[in-house]
Structure formats: structure tokens, C-alpha cells
Amino acid sequence: MEIQCSECKGMGCEACEYGSWSVSECPQAMVRDLVAPLKAMELFLQGIPPITGGLLDQSAEFVDFVNSMQHEDALVLNDD
Ligand SMILES: [Zn+2]
């Protein structure tokens, strides 16, 4: 399966091969490690943190993950 590169929109760049990425394994297997943090992020954005306490009690890695995912979401939503 070929997926259009989100970096260059199919024009070709250093992140892809001639404007697309080749997917040769199950896409669910590729994102399996993201399921738990994405579920935690969803609850966190609703006000339920994964670890008791406020923002400063959460791991820096988790807070960075949430910020990165929100940035990616914004890029996708603004992609026309
Ligand atoms: Zn590309």
C-alpha cells in the first residue's frame, strides 16, 4: 500500500520515496504502541490525568507527547 507523504504532499522529499510512503505491514501493528498514550491523552484533555496531581506531576515525556499530537492534529485540520 502506498500513502502520500504528508511532508511534501506527494512532491517528493527526503522523508519519502518519490512522494509516498510504502506500507508493507499491518497499519494497526505500526501504531500499536501509540494506543495507550493516545487513550491517556484523550482522558487528560478531559481533565483526568494519568497520574494523580496536576500538569507538573505528569511525566515530561507524556506532556511532550500530548503537545506533539495536538500540533499534528492542528496540521491535519488546517491541511486543505
Ligand atoms: Zn515527501
User: What does the alpha-carbon distance between residue 45 and residue 11 come to, in Å, rounded to a whole number?
Assistant: 35
> pLDDT tens per residue, the chain (80 residues)?
888 998 899 999 999 989 999 989 888 888 899 999 999 999 999 999 999 999 999 999 999 999 999 998 898 888 76
Pairwise CA distance, residues 1 & 10, whole Å: 15
If you measure from the C-alpha of residue 3 to the centroid of ligand 1, how many angstroms do you get, rounded to a whole number? 10
Cα of 4 vs centre of ligand 1, distance in Å, is 8
Output Rg (C-alpha) for the chain, integer angstroms.
Answer: 16
User: Is the pTM of the predicted complex or chain greater than 0.75?
Assistant: no
